[in-house]
Structure 1
Amino acid sequence: MLLIAVTTPKGQRTEEECTINSCTIGKSDENRIMLQGWTVGRSHATIHRRKEGVYVEDHRSSAGTKINGDKVSGEYGPLKPGDKITICDYVLEVLDLEEETEPVATEAAPAANSSAPAVESETSEDKTRAEIAETLAVLKHLHQQLIKQMDLRRVDVNRQNEEELRANTLAMLEEIVAQDKTIPAHFDRKMLVKRVLDEVVGLGPLEDLIADDGVSEIMVNSFDEIFIERKGQLQKSSITFTSNQAVLSAIERIVTPIGRRIDESSPMVDARLKDGSRVNAVIPPLALKGANITIRKFSKKKMVGQDLVNFGSMTPVMLNFLKTVVEEKANIIISGGTGSGKTTLLNVMSSYIPKDERIVTVEDAAELQLSQPNLVGLESRPPNAEGKGMVSIRDLVKNCLRMRPDRIVVGECRGGEALDMLTAMNTGHDGSLTTAHANTPRDCLARIEVMVMMAGMDLPIRAIREQIASAVRFIVQQNRFACGTRKITHITEVTGMEGDIIQLQDIYLYKREGFGPDGKVRGQHVATGQIPEFYEELQSRGLEIDFSMFDAKDKRL
């Protein structure tokens, strides 16, 4: 942990406790310590605690970071007791440095004793590396033996379905392992058979990670470097592929069944697994460290609104509000950063579309899991080897207008399809939903403007804003905080134009209150007291509306 004293420019002193060994500093609300001022960077600096001591890393901010009055570049440390960190007019001091420096001995005998654990740790690390190398060598050996046996027996894998291939390969591997006398006695034979089988007919070591419900994201940087996200935090996995070719084979087994391809002429691909999990793969020459894979897993259990309430992403009142605006055909954009949970929220909100309406979904790689009976799913297609046959998201959005949809759900707007989406929203397809990458509702509007310009229509900016103001009714902002927590931070209504500016009013907000003892962000969702104009329209149509849900006096929803 880190205990840091912060003195403001006005002399007010507070103490911030960080329960993890890394504390970010800046003016963005994603930082552990937030500082105010136009010269403070969004992510200005980070304080790290390591075995050697505490270090300060400056993130190349324009104002810079000073230690005891001297400007530092990059990383500085280890800090000594009493060192002052100056960021603009704020002064910070790490208070618990003494605890970390006590074990460092000043006399010869204690110093010798204190170095012993370090040597032991180093030896243990070398031992672990040796074990991994030995395991990889055995796995490669078994893989080669399997290929030889298949060649000798002239096994035609193309004529076997997946179940037959797995069963025949398993029998052959068990026979090879039973007869091979070169395998060291301490190895688990069943483990070796499973790992080679997974790599030959499955996704290799990724099979176990995909089956692990606690893992939400898998990142293969190279064949011997795999990271995972567990409970919102990144960590390095101990498992590896046997070679770069094994990673390429896993990618091929992912993309081939869905009609995608990856090769040197098309070295990037978006795909999906059988359970709908999103996959992105990049191979050399674009990937410098070797082929890499990023898998964003989908929960095996289909998420519902109550699950998001239980996770603290929103409150029951907010869920009821979103359910109502979806049912009453408000056009909604879900905004957020990468990995913030936009697609999950889109899935939940789309489930509230009435079953008697016709829905057309448009996606790059099919991820939505809707259960309505009158549903048509469309998926874009990349160009073939000759560079022909490409069908873009924009082509699909245009086409779905001819399919008599009541609702159009676009997985994500990234380019010129934003113009076609706005056109659909403005021409009778109320209740449409989509997502976009942005940090705030206001940023979302600016991003939509840019995406409309990408359509190449050369429209004046006022015309674009008028289209947005008349088409979009609500923006739901979903954020992922540094601790891994995902929350809806804004539900904002678009109320029209005033001059050249699109007017917004926040209905619900998430107010941060710092971090809890577990390092997780702490705060509460509050109503701003603003009554949505959309609800006033519903009341004028004769619907019974409970306006108490917008009462700002009841802070906790």
Structure 2
Amino acid sequence: MSASPEAPGVVVEEVRERLAGSPGELTPHRVAQALRETGRPVGDAMVLAVHEALRRDVVGAGPLEPLLRTPGVTDVLVNGAEAVYLDRGDGLERSAVTFPDESAVRRLAQRLAGLGGRRLDDAAPYADLRLADGTRFHAVLAPVARPGTVISLRVPRGGGYTLDELVAIGMVPQTLGLLLDRILLRRLAFLISGGTGSGKTTLLAALLGRAPSHERLVVVEDASELRPEHPHVVALEGRPANVEGAGAIEVRTLVRQALRMRPDRLVVGEVRGGEVVELLAALNTGHEGGCGTLHANSALDVPARVEALALAAGLGREAAHSQLASAVDVVVHLARGPDGVRRLAQIAVPARTSSGLVEMEMAVEVPAGPDAPIEEGPALGRLVDRLGGLR
């Protein structure tokens, strides 16, 4: 935890050890008594500083709590005891927060994992879960991780962004905002691709918020992050196995359940496994307007990514490409620029080649940089035709 002049780490640790020897509620009175026993000064400022430091260590995210409450923060990353970073949308920046030692980081990671009902110890040195407030938590204990225990926290944005706000902050060019709006309202099936932290979920939530209010959105996710501002959203969330290795619910299973729930739009928050087979099948059997996100390096790499996921799930290469060609109308790709800012980078359309496989053809490309001109690609005309004319 951060060590302040009033409550240096050594004082906090001494008080913690004395309090641990006599269980009871953490109160300023008990802290003052422990300070007296250590021979430390017992001024009001010292008592309150030590009490607050200990309270943060057993409630919420401990010393990370102020960072998680920082306006605009999307990620808080802990790389061992000495390095804590945060991202406020402009790339990673190092914070002033540190921990006294590796054991403090490990305690915090284990406590947060415990809040989510997960085991985190030397036998199970990593955990991935969603905390009660919606924060996505991931941790890997040392020595598996270096330079020490690593914690990654993905912070949900209260209320989410609207498409207009994404245009205002420069993530989406205004003309392409209109294009995305038309893609949604024309009920084209689309995938949003990009790397980790590129803004896929943010953009998908903003677009779903513009879906007509009478539509029923059924959202399936491995860990609940997608929370569109829409009056009719039903969410299904996967569940990992418990400590005994039982009770897991796969996203693939939930996609099949979602199809029986009369969705107007089937949404898979992140396609990263066998659920790609069920999603493509659904989009090929009358479920218009379906969508999801997918990790990929570019829009052009999406067919290879879909193929790999489908093959692992037992669907052959030719069948996977055939399903993709008829299921997905558009791929929207997001990327971080050299300045660390997330931006819409590409919009592409799938096309079947003479070999029967699918390749993506570029419709629109936005070079890196806030003022870079939008480049039209050879597939823009086909996309406009699918939209019923927009130029």
When normalised by structure 2's length, the TM-score is 0.88
Quickly say closer, same or farther: Cα 1:531–1:220, change in 2 above 3 A.
closer
Partner of 2:372: 523
In structure 2, the residue corresponding to 1:205 is in which secondary structure? helix
Partner of 2:206: 348
In structure 2, the residue corresponding to 1:219 is in which secondary structure? strand
TM-superposed deviation, 1:137: 0.7
Q: Return the letter of the residue paired with 1:144.
A: E
Counterpart contact for 1:202–1:253, Cα < 8 Å = no
TM-superposed deviation, 1:439: 1.5
In structure 1, the residue corresponding to 2:374 is in which secondary structure? strand
- Counting only pairs closer than 5 Å after superposition, residues 432-443 of structure 1 correspond to structure 2 as 432-443=290-301
Q: Return the letter of the residue paired with 1:140.
A: E
In the comparison of the two structures, how many residue pairs are matched?
Answer: 389
TM-superposed deviation, 1:322: 1.0
Q: Return the letter of the residue paired with 1:227.
A: Y
Partner of 2:320: 464
In structure 2, the residue corresponding to 1:511 is in which secondary structure? coil
CA RMSD of aligned residues (A): 3.0
- Counting only pairs closer than 5 Å after superposition, residues 404-553 of structure 1 correspond to structure 2 as 404-457=262-315, 459=316, 461-512=317-368, 522-528=371-377, 531-533=380-382, 535-537=384-386, 539=388, 545=389, 547-548=390-391
Return the index of the structure with the highest Cα Rg.
1
Quickly say closer, same or farther: Cα 1:221–1:184, change in 2 above 3 A.
farther
Alignment match of 1:140 (pick from 4, 10, 13)? 13
In structure 1, the residue corresponding to 2:26 is in which secondary structure? helix
What CA distance in whole angstroms lies between the structure 2 residues aligned with 1:260 and 1:284?
17
Tell which deviates more after alignment, 218-227 or 410-419: 218-227
What CA distance in whole angstroms lies between the structure 2 residues aligned with 1:406 and 1:359?
6
What CA distance in whole angstroms lies between the structure 2 residues aligned with 1:189 and 1:357?
56
**Any gaps of 5 or more consecutive residues in structure 2?**
none
TM-superposed deviation, 1:379: 1.3
TM-superposed deviation, 1:330: 1.0
Partner of 2:181: 323
Could you give the per-residue CA deviations for residues 431-458 of structure 1, whole angstroms, max 9, x where no partner exists? 111111112111111111111101024x
What CA distance in whole angstroms lies between the structure 2 residues aligned with 1:395 and 1:130?
47
What CA distance in whole angstroms lies between the structure 1 residues aligned with 2:13 and 2:35?
16
Quickly say closer, same or farther: Cα 1:243–1:449, change in 2 above 3 A.
same
- Counting only pairs closer than 5 Å after superposition, residues 214-253 of structure 1 correspond to structure 2 as 215-253=73-111
Could you give the per-residue CA deviations for residues 331-350 of structure 1, whole angstroms, max 9, x where no partner exists? 11111111111111111112
What CA distance in whole angstroms lies between the structure 1 residues aligned with 2:309 and 2:85?
33
Could you give the per-residue CA deviations for residues 274-295 of structure 1, whole angstroms, max 9, x where no partner exists? 4423221112453354432111
TM-superposed deviation, 1:498: 3.8
Counterpart contact for 1:479–1:486, Cα < 8 Å = yes
What CA distance in whole angstroms lies between the structure 2 residues aligned with 1:311 and 1:480?
14
Q: Return the letter of the residue paired with 2:175.
A: V
- Counting only pairs closer than 5 Å after superposition, residues 120-199 of structure 1 correspond to structure 2 as 135-149=8-22, 151=23, 155=24, 169-172=26-29, 175-176=32-33, 179=36, 181-183=39-41, 189-199=47-57
- Counting only pairs closer than 5 Å after superposition, residues 361-376 of structure 1 correspond to structure 2 as 361-376=219-234
TM-superposed deviation, 1:477: 0.6
In structure 2, the residue corresponding to 1:194 is in which secondary structure? helix
Q: Return the letter of the residue paired with 1:364.
A: D
- The one of the two structures with greater contact order (alpha-carbon pairs below 8 A, sep at least 6) is 2
- Counting only pairs closer than 5 Å after superposition, residues 390-409 of structure 1 correspond to structure 2 as 390-409=248-267
Tell which deviates more after alignment, 391-400 or 446-455: 391-400
What CA distance in whole angstroms lies between the structure 1 residues aligned with 2:184 and 2:310?
24
TM-superposed deviation, 1:192: 3.1
Quickly say closer, same or farther: Cα 1:215–1:538, change in 2 above 3 A.
closer
TM-superposed deviation, 1:494: 2.2
Q: Return the letter of the residue paired with 1:511.
A: P
Quickly say closer, same or farther: Cα 1:230–1:320, change in 2 above 3 A.
closer
What CA distance in whole angstroms lies between the structure 2 residues aligned with 1:473 and 1:173?
64
Kindly indicate which of the two structures has a greater share of residues assigned to strand: 1
Identity %: 32
Counterpart contact for 2:91–2:341, Cα < 8 Å = no
What CA distance in whole angstroms lies between the structure 2 residues aligned with 1:306 and 1:130?
42
Counterpart contact for 1:416–1:451, Cα < 8 Å = yes
- Counting only pairs closer than 5 Å after superposition, residues 17-36 of structure 1 correspond to structure 2 as none
Counterpart contact for 2:116–2:132, Cα < 8 Å = no
What CA distance in whole angstroms lies between the structure 2 residues aligned with 1:221 and 1:243?
12
Q: Return the letter of the residue paired with 1:436.
A: L
Counterpart contact for 1:139–1:242, Cα < 8 Å = no
In structure 2, the residue corresponding to 1:403 is in which secondary structure? coil
Counterpart contact for 2:361–2:378, Cα < 8 Å = no
When normalised by structure 1's length, the TM-score is 0.63
Q: Return the letter of the residue paired with 1:217.
A: D
What CA distance in whole angstroms lies between the structure 2 residues aligned with 1:290 and 1:464?
41
Counterpart contact for 2:126–2:139, Cα < 8 Å = yes
TM-superposed deviation, 1:532: 4.5
TM-superposed deviation, 1:241: 2.6
Quickly say closer, same or farther: Cα 1:224–1:417, change in 2 above 3 A.
same
